[in-house]
Amino acid sequence: MDLVVNKEMKQTNQPLVYICADSKDVGDALYTVHRVVLQLGGIPVNLNYTSESGEYDWPLITKTIDKSDLFILLVGDSYGEISDTSESYIHREAVYAKSKKKNVVALLKNAELKNMQPQDVQRLRTLHRLTMSGIFKYWNLKEDLLLVCRQVLRDLLKPQLGLTDPPLIKKQSKTEEDTHIPLHEAITETLFNMESYEMRFTGKVFAHGNCHEVTRTISLTWDMAFLNIGVMMTAPVSEDRMRAALEAFIEDQYRDEFMNAIESSHALSNVRCHDHEFQRLKAFLKGAGVIENVAKESSGLRSYWQLTQIGENRLQKLLIPSN
């Protein structure tokens, strides 16, 4: 009877997902991750250990991590409870998972550091840096975490199908590899290799106590436009934040183009991107496969956008240029 049960369990091929978290630190966020894993057909495992629980069973934990198909590190506002090895339990488990070449996904909260002790800040940063050689995402609220989980894990977990070989995506046929992927990359490269992209902005220029509205057409490279928006899009952001980042860049870097239009001008403020210009930019970036719509608020008034994997690769190339 036991043999039959084991065979049936193997046939379901549900991936085992180890969730590494300090329950006192992450609180209800742990439920959010469990829920998404279950919705996507995975089996979440978390020992929910605290010092009050008794003995920390390291052999059992390492055995469970070894059997896991995916390792999720969920980090909240702190480094986590310290173990007898002078590092936190979650740090110790993450190091072990990395050493075993496990597929690690890190969900890191944008923690408030100003009230933390310097030693705690350094420890938390060390933990964050550990994860940055793999898949990592930042989150602020539980709503952000829900969006991030769904966006990251949907390609790693397939309902009732389980995980395939690393990098945990379904293998494509040779025909698909030879056509679709190179074509998509070619479209992205063609777009970003364009010398410039013109956008219109309007700002308020002040001179002699008067305010003048000045409109200028700015030629931006695709890399520059994408870089100033993309750095904030590792987590879902609203269109308002995307637009504000681009406008702040233009106001800072192209101030003279606005102020030279008015004699004796002394100040520039409230630079705004024309709406249809911004929507066109967003459509081009979506068409290039570097950003995608991830959710909408229940009111349907604010769209949220995030980098795709192609977008993250492109951003990394811009931030760390090859020699």
Whole-angstrom distance, CA of residue 200 vs CA of residue 284: 16
Residue 1: helix, strand or coil by DSSP? Answer: coil
The pLDDT of residue 125: 86
Domain 191-319 grouped into CATH 3.30.365.10: no
Where does CATH 1.10.10.10 sit in the chain?
191-319
Task: Give which of 222, 228, 227 is closest to 317, Cα–Cα.
Answer: 227
Confirm if 70 and 42 have CB atoms less than 8 A apart. yes
Q: Which amino acid is at 190?
A: T
Query: Could you give the C-alpha distances from 232 to 22, 63, 96, 249, in angstroms and in order?
Result: 26, 37, 30, 13
Whole-angstrom distance, CA of residue 14 vs CA of residue 141: 29
Task: Give which of 224, 238, 247 is closest to 319, Cα–Cα.
Answer: 224
Tens digits of pLDDT across the chain (323 residues): 344 444 444 455 789 999 999 988 888 899 999 999 998 889 999 988 888 888 889 999 999 999 999 999 999 988 989 988 889 999 999 999 999 999 999 998 887 777 788 888 888 888 888 887 788 888 877 777 887 788 788 878 764 344 444 444 344 444 444 444 444 555 555 556 666 678 899 999 998 889 999 999 998 877 788 888 888 888 888 888 889 889 988 998 899 999 999 999 999 999 999 888 888 888 888 877 888 887 654 444 456 888 888 888 888 777 765 55
Where does CATH 3.40.50.10140 sit in the chain?
2-153
| CATH level 3 topology of 2-153 | Rossmann fold (3.40.50)
Whole-angstrom distance, CA of residue 41 vs CA of residue 38: 5
Query: Could you give the C-alpha distances from 119 to 76, 86, 113, 128, 253, in angstroms and in order?
Result: 17, 12, 11, 14, 37
With tokens 């469990």, the residue in question is 34
